[in-house]
């Protein structure tokens, strides 16, 4: 039962790690950097946040979800402007060249951005609750040991996804022309910019 629960937790982490939303795109962008630790720092931020969210949903800490819902507008506006800033900064030629050439060493900043943008987002709470229900994990009983184990499994699954993707991208970059990495960096920057504008507009209007 414990092993099955751990597998479900890791699967949940992998499923939610797909780089479809703004945080996933941010992590993907950082994983395109020649500095592999920068990408892993972004993935670690998402993994830690997902572990906390999974524990909160399982252990019934509804106050956090309620707080996020009440202040959703502020988080939308703040997060939206942050994404716009990241997108605009990523489109600057000097930044693109610097990232492609040397990556960067601001691992704590990358981790913090990924962590905060994942945790202060009401959507993962709803998504996790829905998936946990379908996995038949939410049974209404409080079990600190099992809930911590499940949260750890979600963390491991998320990190496993980004470790594998980081390794794949590392080998792809070595075999692909430099212009391809540059194009991908531009596309992810534009996508972050668009996500930011939509999120900020949603919060304002």
pLDDT for 83-127, tens place per residue?
677 666 656 655 444 454 444 457 888 888 888 888 887 778 777
Distances (CA, A) of 97 to 91, 109, 186: 10, 20, 11
More confident residue, 192 or 36: 36
Q: Is a pLDDT exceeding 90 seen at residue 72?
A: no
Q: Can you tell me which residue has the tokens 């252990």?
A: 59
Q: Please state, in angstroms and rounded to a whole number, the distance separating the CA atoms of residues 85 and 29.
A: 15
Q: CB–CB of 187/42 below 8 Å?
A: no
pTM for this model (two decimals): 0.73
Residue 96: the pLDDT is 46
Residues in the chain: 205
- Give the pLDDT confidence of 10-35 residue by residue, as tens digits: 988 888 887 667 778 778 878 877 77
Buried b / exposed e over 101-130, threshold 16 CB at 10 Å, is eebbeebeebbebbbbbbbbbbebbebbbe
CA angle 132, 136, 141 (to 5 degrees): 90
Residue 93: the pLDDT is 56
Task: Determine the average pLDDT of the residues in 200-205.
Answer: 73
Both structure tokens of 62 = 């509804």
User: To the nearest 10°, the Cα dihedral for 15, 16, 19, 20?
Assistant: 100
């Amino acid at each position: 039962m414990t092993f099955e629960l751990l597998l479900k937790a890791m699967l949940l982490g992998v499923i939610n790690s797909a780089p479809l939303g703004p945080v996933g795109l941010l992590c993907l962008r950082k994983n395109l950097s020649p500095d592999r630790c920068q990408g892993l720092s972004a993935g670690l931020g998402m993994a830690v946040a997902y572990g906390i969210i999974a524990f909160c949903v399982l252990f019934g800490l509804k106050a956090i979800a309620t707080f996020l819902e009440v202040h959703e507008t502020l988080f939308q506006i703040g997060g939206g402007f942050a994404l716009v800033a990241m997108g605009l900064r990523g489109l600057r030629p000097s930044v693109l060249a610097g990232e492609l050439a040397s990556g960067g060493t601001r691992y704590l900043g990358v981790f913090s951005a990924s962590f905060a943008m994942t945790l202060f987002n009401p959507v993962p709470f709803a998504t996790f609750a829905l998936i946990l229900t379908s996995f038949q994990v939410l049974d209404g009983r409080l079990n600190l040991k099992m809930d911590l184990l499940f949260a750890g499994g979600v963390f491991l699954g998320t990190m496993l996804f980004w470790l594998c993707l980081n390794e794949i991208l590392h080998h792809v970059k070595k075999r692909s022309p430099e212009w391809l990495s540059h194009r991908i960096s531009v596309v992810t920057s534009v996508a972050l910019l668009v996500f930011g504008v939509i999120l900020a507009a949603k919060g304002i209007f």
